[in-house]
Structure 1
Amino acid sequence: MKLYQYIISGAVSLSLCFSSCDDWLDVTPIDTRTSENFYQTPSQLEQAIIGIYNGLMPLSEYSWVMSEIRSDNVWVPYKLGKQRDYVDIACFNSNITTISTISSAWNDLYEIIARANLFLSKVDQVEFAADLDPVKKQFVGEARFLRGLAYFELVRYFGRIPVILEPVSIEEAMTIRQSEIVEVYEKAIIPDLEEAVKFLVDEPLNYAGKTASAGRATLSAAKSLLGRVYLTMAGFPVQDESKKDLAKTLFKEVIDYSDANNNKFWAKDMDEWNKMWISENDNKYHIFEIQYIAANGYGNPMVPASVPSVSPIYTTVKLLGNTVYCERSLDKIFTQKDENDEFIDQRCHGTIETGNMVDEDGKPYTGEDFYVKLFEHNVKRKELGYSDISSQIVDRNYFPTNYPLIRLEDVMLMYAEIAGPTTEGKGYVDRIRTRAGLPKLDQNITPTNFADSVDVERRRELASEGIRWHDIVRQGRFKQLLQDMFKRYATEGSETYDLYLRVKDDTYLYPIPDAQMKVKEGLYEQNSAYK
């Protein structure tokens, strides 16, 4: 059973516990007395935990728009005067302080934090049976995992942010200033994820000590996320090289766990790899994922935002029709063919559409290639042997495709990036490459060429999953790569060509949303690119 099927039944109770705030400063419950009465039993405590998970649901869209679209994996044609959030973000418009995507991301991530803070302030008052004390600790680990994840997203997007680790009143919130980036890691993210590693298990239980519903954070998820945090800190802008060894150790533990448990999280061949993105394969291949179902308000919002208009053959619902395409340099890598006119990289068909579709009028699609990895359309399901679920997807908010936040392949490639061209490093890259039909790396590959190979492999394997922007930022390469992309798409002197001038050293961060800047004069300092 998917996690969010349980949330629907618990939503009424949760509404008593958490505010439906419009901004993060409104973090106190609507009725404190009701909130205190709610946190009385292990069952109610679990409902509160599920409520924190529920806060993850919008994150797939932010990952797509604020990370993937911002990167050199996606090309958005520039149209002067076209006021769309995703266009402004893709084209590095500096006037984005008021757009809804950025303010919603800030608010939704702080809502997760507010829910986790409330939970952690109440958990000690709930008594568990002595033999279920590990379950109570697991719940604490889940709350801290989710809060650490939210702070990690915030610090990567916004840089200097306020850190709040307990419920506060609006008056108190008005006095909390931004912490420096390193402080956010050291005060919030690392302590939370270290506690998550301490308390989480790989087979989560529910409040009664029975197997929990799918989708809960696990020990492998906590280790993977903490490793990613350390690797991020080793790069730009923190640049703490000492964190690499810590990351490497955690990644190795996750990989070894997978190997020791019948290759858990691993799709053994391309047939399984393609089926990985079908909603029936719930919680099977991803170490941690945001879960969705075909129900009003519980579908994956990233899906309709990532696909242009298509024929009813693929889906009868109206998508957003965004002009978002696979960037040409990546497209060229994916679409290389062998002597039999077959794609050399067998992930190509499952990742991007290369001209086989027809448009919404039934004519052959003639636009640029676009991502279909997470687009669970009727033709894909039929090709892979799954039943038609079009009757369940009644509008674009109903797509049930889960969104991966951590995959084993990501962990393997992060490990390889740190390990370099060692036997293990090359072995993990080759495991991914050979499954995709690519040859193994040259055994005598140089460190520089190996680093390039890992980067290309991450770009292909993790395309459209919101990883690329964060990769090129921590590697300190975003400015050059994005400037080159704009120049590659247009002739010198054109409006599109000149977009490269917008990509500056400090545009690796988004602006603090304008609404937050106006909460109290002088409380926050705006990021330098948006002053």
Structure 2
Amino acid sequence: MKLSNIKNKRWVNIIVLSLISLSFSCTDLDEDPELVQILPETLSSVETLEALVTGMYRTVQNEARWSDFYISGFGGDDITTHSGINKLPFREADWRLQTPSSARMERAYQGSYKMIAIANTGINAQDNIITRNEEEEELKDRFLGEAYFMRAFAYLHLTRTYGKVPIQLKVNSLEPLNLASYEEIYELIESDFIKAEALLPDVYPNIAVTGARPSRGAAKAFLARLYMHWAGFPIKNTSKYAMAASKAKEVIDGNYGYELSNSIRNMWTVAGRFSHNEGIYLMVACSEICGIGNRTTGRLGLPKTAGGWSEIFGEIAFYEDMETAAIAEGTMTRFNDSYISEVIPRGNKPLGSDWRNFSDEAHPILRKVAGGDMSEKEVVNSTNTNINRYFMRYADVLLTYAEAAGRSGNITSNAWEALNKVRRRAAGLDPNTPNASIDLTSGNLAELAYIERKWELAGEFERWHDLVRMDRIADAFANRSTDELVDINNPGKSPTAGPNAYYTPIPQTELDRAPQLAN
């Protein structure tokens, strides 16, 4: 796939430089200068900047394809894991019993700083880059916009996962690292997304998949997400709700190419992954071409008796509540697109059509994890699929606008329409055609949109962050089914619902290098 309109004759050189750029060592944020292969002072051409950015996305693929990159998401009331075997790290995240020494907590931390280190190299070098014509100046701006976007994206993922984290903006800085305040982190993220918004194009050129590379609309959308967190726990600056609504509305009104897919189920299939324009920003897996598949989907969402890894299941109470709501509201299409009721048996171990009769861990099967179409052999029988990994979808933007409009008191017909578009599709209807049987025009818009996010984004590792920003962790734990097996029957163990459990601890390996990062 051609990544820019730079001439093809430079492509081989770009690939080579991309591989070099992947050798950044960012496990320790105080980087060893000898390990850095491309220094800002030596980065002086647009060609090298493109190579750097290409390597940055390769790093995103390498890190974001693993489920432990989203380790905090297991705390949400929508997903759980197996009560035994080798799933202890996910169970600890599920019930917020993590300590700095818990396993599988490092990828989100180290992976994010790898992205930041590469982005910093390009950003630090921008004054050294010489452009020879208007075309190269445009390319330079676009690549720098991507670097700012990715640095903000990584810091947003870090703070949503770990809370307070250190800010590192310079390559090879020897200054000691300390935890930044939430305000400092949010202000940096805001600044970077605003710069990305100014530098990125409305539609990324020569990329066939909407959202595969960020555009101006993506920067606006992620600003809206940032403002929603800024307005909620822990800062609770409610003035940011109006800013979230404004930015989300700019995405809706803009000409960025986003629209709701006609089918939720189709988005989580290999065959249908390129048949829609709902992705705001996503990871395109390419196991056959680039060797990197999506390791958050496929067999790991199935029980052992179906040949699965039993890593990610749906939670029972959430499933039951969603089914009840779907029956009452006429949104069974979305419910059936979110869960699989009949799992294809493997070998001589038929499972039947009711997950409650599974012999190993009776849990609902999330279709977004196991794969949208269970007849796709490569989805069921693989843990390295080519299903897209969505960091944000257009449905998220619509619901952010509706909720933020409601919480800021600026309730308009457009805000109701944003909510209703998502509801119509959930009912199997055309999202753009009003329908009195499903549309809402009165009630608490903010809470209706918040609940709609709960059902719409089920199984996408997003629910936990909504619970945190609204400070509703205790309520979610209280609603968990007594049929759950994960730690609920272990003596002396209970879910931790206090603020100290809202964020995953910084890994012990990082604290050993920088003890001052301990909270």
TM-score by length of 1: 0.81
Q: Is the 8 A contact 2:166 2:178 kept in 1?
A: yes
For residues 167 and 323 of structure 2, the distance between their equivalents in structure 1, rounded to whole angstroms, comes to 45
Partner SS, residue 512 of structure 1: coil
**1:328 lines up with 2:316 in the alignment:** yes
| Match of residue 358, structure 1, among 341, 345, 350 | 345
For residues 499 and 321 of structure 2, the distance between their equivalents in structure 1, rounded to whole angstroms, comes to 28
**1:44 lines up with 2:48 in the alignment:** yes
Q: Is the 8 A contact 1:378 1:389 kept in 2?
A: no
Partner SS, residue 460 of structure 1: helix
Partner of 2:200: 200
Partner of 1:524: 517
Partner SS, residue 287 of structure 1: strand
Partner of 1:307: 301
1:150-229 map, 5 Å: 150-169=154-173, 172-173=174-175, 175-186=176-187, 188-205=188-205, 211-212=206-207, 214=209, 215-229=212-226
Q: Is the 8 A contact 1:62 1:105 kept in 2?
A: no
Q: Deviations over 1:62-91 (max 9, x none)?
A: 577424321000133544x96631122113
Partner SS, residue 162 of structure 1: coil
Q: 1:47 to 1:34 in 2, by over 3 A?
A: closer
| Match of residue 415, structure 2, among 425, 435, 438 | 425
Structure 2: gaps spanning 5 or more residues = 5-9, 353-357, 429-436
Q: 1:250 to 1:494 in 2, by over 3 A?
A: closer
1:437-456 map, 5 Å: 437=427, 439-445=437-443, 447=444, 450-456=445-451
Aligned length: 487
Partner of 1:69: 74
| Match of residue 243, structure 2, among 242, 246, 249 | 246
Q: Deviations over 1:200-220 (max 9, x none)?
A: 112224xxxxx3565211011
Q: Is the 8 A contact 2:300 2:383 kept in 1?
A: no
Q: Is the 8 A contact 2:302 2:308 kept in 1?
A: yes
For residues 436 and 98 of structure 1, the distance between their equivalents in structure 2, rounded to whole angstroms, comes to 41
Q: 1:212 to 1:82 in 2, by over 3 A?
A: closer
**1:111 lines up with 2:114 in the alignment:** yes
| Match of residue 230, structure 2, among 233, 246, 255 | 233
Deviation at residue 179 of structure 1 after TM alignment:
0.9
Q: Deviations over 1:164-202 (max 9, x none)?
A: 111124xx15x121111111112x211111101111112
**1:400 lines up with 2:386 in the alignment:** yes
For residues 389 and 164 of structure 1, the distance between their equivalents in structure 2, rounded to whole angstroms, comes to 41
1:463-478 map, 5 Å: 463-478=458-473
Q: Deviations over 1:26-58 (max 9, x none)?
A: 535546676579734322221110111222222
Q: Deviations over 1:282-304 (max 9, x none)?
A: 37320111121123741112114
For residues 231 and 218 of structure 1, the distance between their equivalents in structure 2, rounded to whole angstroms, comes to 20
Q: 1:164 to 1:31 in 2, by over 3 A?
A: closer
Q: 1:22 to 1:42 in 2, by over 3 A?
A: closer
Partner of 1:384: none
Q: State the percentage of identical aligned residues.
A: 22
- Please say which of residues 287-296 and 300-309 is displaced more in the overlay: 300-309
TM-score by length of 2: 0.83
Instruction: State the one-letter code of the partner of 1:328.
Output: I
Q: Deviations over 1:377-426 (max 9, x none)?
A: 76344xxxxxx667xx99523x1111111111101101111222642222
For residues 352 and 32 of structure 1, the distance between their equivalents in structure 2, rounded to whole angstroms, comes to 45
Partner SS, residue 98 of structure 1: coil
Instruction: State the one-letter code of the partner of 1:475.
Output: M
Deviation at residue 359 of structure 1 after TM alignment:
5.1
For residues 265 and 112 of structure 2, the distance between their equivalents in structure 1, rounded to whole angstroms, comes to 31
1:79-94 map, 5 Å: 79=84, 84-94=88-98
Q: Is the 8 A contact 1:19 1:26 kept in 2?
A: no
Aligned-pair Cα RMSD in Å: 3.5
Instruction: State the one-letter code of the partner of 2:190.
Output: I
Q: 1:264 to 1:487 in 2, by over 3 A?
A: same
Q: 1:212 to 1:127 in 2, by over 3 A?
A: farther
Q: Is the 8 A contact 2:317 2:481 kept in 1?
A: no
Q: Deviations over 1:133-166 (max 9, x none)?
A: 1221111111000000101111111122110111
Instruction: State the one-letter code of the partner of 2:164.
Output: R
- Please say which of residues 34-43 and 188-197 is displaced more in the overlay: 34-43
For residues 470 and 124 of structure 1, the distance between their equivalents in structure 2, rounded to whole angstroms, comes to 37
Q: Is the 8 A contact 2:427 2:438 kept in 1?
A: no
Structure 1: gaps spanning 5 or more residues = 206-210, 313-317, 382-387, 527-531
Q: Is the 8 A contact 2:299 2:309 kept in 1?
A: yes
Instruction: State the one-letter code of the partner of 1:429.
Output: L
Partner SS, residue 163 of structure 1: coil
For residues 394 and 463 of structure 2, the distance between their equivalents in structure 1, rounded to whole angstroms, comes to 16
Deviation at residue 452 of structure 1 after TM alignment:
3.4
Q: 1:326 to 1:360 in 2, by over 3 A?
A: farther
Q: Is the 8 A contact 1:234 1:243 kept in 2?
A: yes
Deviation at residue 307 of structure 1 after TM alignment:
0.5
For residues 356 and 516 of structure 1, the distance between their equivalents in structure 2, rounded to whole angstroms, comes to 41
Partner of 1:277: 268
- Please say which of residues 463-472 and 122-131 is displaced more in the overlay: 122-131
Instruction: State the one-letter code of the partner of 1:321.
Output: S
Partner SS, residue 288 of structure 1: strand
Q: 1:131 to 1:143 in 2, by over 3 A?
A: same
For residues 33 and 435 of structure 1, the distance between their equivalents in structure 2, rounded to whole angstroms, comes to 48
**1:55 lines up with 2:69 in the alignment:** no
Instruction: State the one-letter code of the partner of 2:456.
Output: E
For residues 450 and 388 of structure 2, the distance between their equivalents in structure 1, rounded to whole angstroms, comes to 25
Q: 1:480 to 1:65 in 2, by over 3 A?
A: same
For residues 162 and 326 of structure 2, the distance between their equivalents in structure 1, rounded to whole angstroms, comes to 44
For residues 424 and 472 of structure 1, the distance between their equivalents in structure 2, rounded to whole angstroms, comes to 26
For residues 402 and 325 of structure 2, the distance between their equivalents in structure 1, rounded to whole angstroms, comes to 27
Deviation at residue 456 of structure 1 after TM alignment:
2.3
For residues 40 and 470 of structure 2, the distance between their equivalents in structure 1, rounded to whole angstroms, comes to 46
Partner SS, residue 104 of structure 2: helix
For residues 501 and 375 of structure 1, the distance between their equivalents in structure 2, rounded to whole angstroms, comes to 27
